[in-house]
Chain A
Amino acid sequence: MLRVRLYLQSVIKFILKYSSLAIVILLTACTEPDCIDKGGEFIGIGFYDEQTGEVEEIRINSLQLEGIDSLLASEVDNVAAVILPINPDTDQLTAYFDTEFGRDTLVIGYERTVSLISEDCGAEIIFNSVSIVRNDFDSISVVNTSTELNFLDATSFNENIRIFN
Chain B
Amino acid sequence: MQPRSMRTFVFLISLGLITHSHTAFSQLDSVYNDSTWHKQRFIPTGVRIGLDAISLGQVFGSSDIKQWKLAADVDFYRYFLNFEFGTFERQWNTSSSVYNNEGTYFKIGPDINLLHRDPDQSALFFGIRYAISNYKDEISFTTNNDFWGNSTAFEENRDLTSSWFEMTTGLKVKLYKWVWSGYTARFKFRVNETYSANDLVPHWIPGYGLAQEESQWGFEYYLIFRIPFKQYIPAPKKKS
Contact = CB atoms under 8 A, between A and B. Distances in A.
A116 B151 contact: no
A51 interface: no
B184 to A, nearest CB: 11
Contacts of B93: 119
A9 B94 contact: no
Contact of A12 (B94, B124, B155): B124
Given A87-B148, A89-B148, A116-B203, A123 B118 contact: no
B31 to A, nearest CB: 24
A156 interface: no
Given A85-B147, A88-B143, A123-B96, A113 B183 contact: no
Interface in A1-50: 2, 9, 12-13, 15-17, 20, 23-24, 27-28, 33, 41
**Secondary structure of the A contact surface, majority rule:** mixed
A13 B122 contact: yes
Nearest to A20: B221
Contact of A88 (B94, B148, B171, B181): B148
A114 interface: yes
Given A16-B182, A24-B53, A123-B141, A116 B99 contact: yes
Contacts, number: 100
Interface string B121-149: 01010000000000000010101011110
Contacts of B203: 115-117
A111 B198 CA distance: 10
A157 B40 CA distance: 73
B235 to A, nearest CB: 13
A24 B145 contact: no
Interface string A84-104: 010111000000000000000
Contact of A115 (B95, B145, B200): B200
A85 to B, nearest CB: 4
B115 A9 contact: yes
Size range of the chain A interface in the assembly: 35 or more
Interface in A87-140: 87-89, 111-123, 125
B211 to A, nearest CB: 9
A92 B95 CA distance: 27
A122 B147 contact: no
A71 interface: no
A24 B221 contact: yes
A68 interface: yes
A60 B197 CA distance: 36
Interface in B36-71: 53-54
Contacts of A33: 210, 212
A13 B181 CA distance: 10
A125 B143 contact: yes
Nearest to A125: B143
Interface of A: 2, 9, 12-13, 15-17, 20, 23-24, 27-28, 33, 41, 65, 67-68, 85, 87-89, 111-123, 125
Closest 9 pairs between A and B when the two form their complex, measured CB to CB: A115-B201, A85-B147, A122-B94, A116-B203, A123-B97, A27-B219, A116-B99, A88-B143, A16-B173
